[in-house]
Structure 1
Amino acid sequence: MNKNPYEQFPHIVSNEVTLRKIVESDLDNLYAIYSNEKLFQYSPVMLKKNKNTVANMIGHFERDFLKRKAIFLGICLNSNLNNIVGVAEIFDYHRDVNMITIGYRLNDQFWGKGIATKTVRAMTEYLFSNIGINRIQALVMPENIKSQNVLIRNNYIKEGTIRQGYIWKGKGLVDLILFSRLRSDVEIA
């Protein structure tokens, strides 16, 4: 069973977090995320200082999904599904390899509570079980130890460092550590 991840917009529910479509009523929480400098220290995405820019992003998320470019999901605690505390990303789907890349950012008020780990676990289970993806990968700056630990806790394998292999807006040429997990890793475990 291999489905295209863009066939249906995902709604991912786990025991403690729900990953859902970002809607206009999420604007204040989304702005709190995209205007927080701490969240973009290790990210290729640029900080957004204008609330109207962030409002436009909500429409762009829909457009990116329809163009089969990326999926942006609001991360919610199951105790409050109307309040997004972060953004999960699923992108760079390669059908021939059956591979996809994930990313995530969490409002710093929610750091250290295991939410990022639970988010990656929910995305991983969804992509393996519901979509039939073979390989999931994530790219992390070497300085971003917390994000590396999130992936390691989810049994992602550190494959190595891609030295000066990417240009990130606002950062220039960067090194990135490549982490991956294969569906066969789950079947073995």
Structure 2
Amino acid sequence: MEVKIMLTTELHTERLHLRKMKVSDSPSLFKIWSDPEVTKFMNINCFTDENQAKDMIKLLDEFSQDNKAIRFSIIEMDSNEIIGSCGFNFLDYENAKAEIGYDIAKAFWGRGYASEAICALLDYAFSSLKLNRIEAKVEPENVKSVKVLQKLNFTFEGTLRQSERVDGRFNDLNMYSKLITD
């Protein structure tokens, strides 16, 4: 029996408003996704055209229609500016788990916004979606992202060797997880 879950379209933290991505967010998200330092560890190439952002948002929306994923624009409440995105890249209700992903505009790095956004995702996943496990896959060289996950007490489970093909090369991914009981 398939469980039908309505995913929320908004989450709030002390400084952030997480809202389901909309096509109208594409100018702001294009600015972020066209920065090679931001996309360095994302499994996308640096965007060169705003239409790529629109297409990405539409694709992510299709996944959310099937409740397989959802991506939020991260809005800093003080400035009302989109400073990144985060969400569930993959929702597996049968196994009560999800994979998270996140990106923050370079101008906002080092201010704890990624941690704050991820905490909102964790709270929603464990309390509302009743998930048991949250996973994050990170390239070992992505030191900033690893630090965020360590700060949030994710457990390093090991390395998925040559797990992802990017630009014709195979990259290792480190697997981190957090359980509802952690």
- The TM-score, its normalising length taken from structure 1, stands at 0.88
Matches within 5 A, 1:66-85: 66-81=65-80, 83-85=81-83
1:171 CA drift (Å): 5.6
Q: Distance in 2 between matches of 1:171 and 1:139?
A: 19
Distance 1:176 1:80, change over 3 A: same
1:142 CA drift (Å): 0.5
Aligned-partner residue type, residue 173 of structure 1: F
User: 1:124: which partner in 2?
Assistant: 122
Aligned-partner residue type, residue 10 of structure 1: T
User: 1:150: which partner in 2?
Assistant: 148
Q: Distance in 2 between matches of 1:110 and 1:121?
A: 17
1:161 CA drift (Å): 1.2
| Unmatched tracts of structure 2, length 5 or more | none
User: 1:182: which partner in 2?
Assistant: 179
1:16 maps to 2:19 = no
User: 1:50: which partner in 2?
Assistant: 49
Tell me which moved more, 170-179 or 54-63: 54-63
1:99 CA drift (Å): 0.7
User: 1:40: which partner in 2?
Assistant: 39
**Tell me, what secondary structure is at the counterpart of 2:145?**
helix
* C-alpha contact (below 8 Å) 1:24/1:58 kept by paired residues: yes
Aligned-partner residue type, residue 64 of structure 2: F
Q: Distance in 1 between matches of 2:161 and 2:60?
A: 30
| Unmatched tracts of structure 1, length 5 or more | none
Q: Distance in 2 between matches of 1:134 and 1:171?
A: 34
* C-alpha contact (below 8 Å) 1:135/1:180 kept by paired residues: yes
Q: Distance in 2 between matches of 1:134 and 1:173?
A: 30
Tell me which moved more, 104-113 or 84-93: 84-93
The structure showing larger relative contact order (alpha-carbon pairs under 8 Å, at least 6 residues apart) is 1
**Tell me, what secondary structure is at the counterpart of 1:124?**
helix
Work out the percentage of aligned pairs sharing the same amino acid: 29
Q: Distance in 1 between matches of 2:168 and 2:131?
A: 31
**Tell me, what secondary structure is at the counterpart of 2:134?**
strand
1:107 CA drift (Å): 0.7
User: 2:61: which partner in 1?
Assistant: 62
Give CA deviations for 1:26-81 in whole Å, capped at 9, x if unaligned: 22211101111111211212221111222233322221211333211101112234
Q: Distance in 2 between matches of 1:126 and 1:21?
A: 14
Q: Distance in 1 between matches of 2:160 and 2:84?
A: 27
Tell me which moved more, 48-57 or 36-45: 48-57
1:110 maps to 2:70 = no
* C-alpha contact (below 8 Å) 2:164/2:171 kept by paired residues: yes
Q: Distance in 2 between matches of 1:24 and 1:59?
A: 7
Q: Distance in 1 between matches of 2:62 and 2:6?
A: 14
* C-alpha contact (below 8 Å) 1:159/1:178 kept by paired residues: yes
Q: Distance in 2 between matches of 1:176 and 1:50?
A: 28
* C-alpha contact (below 8 Å) 1:120/1:150 kept by paired residues: no
* C-alpha contact (below 8 Å) 1:72/1:90 kept by paired residues: yes
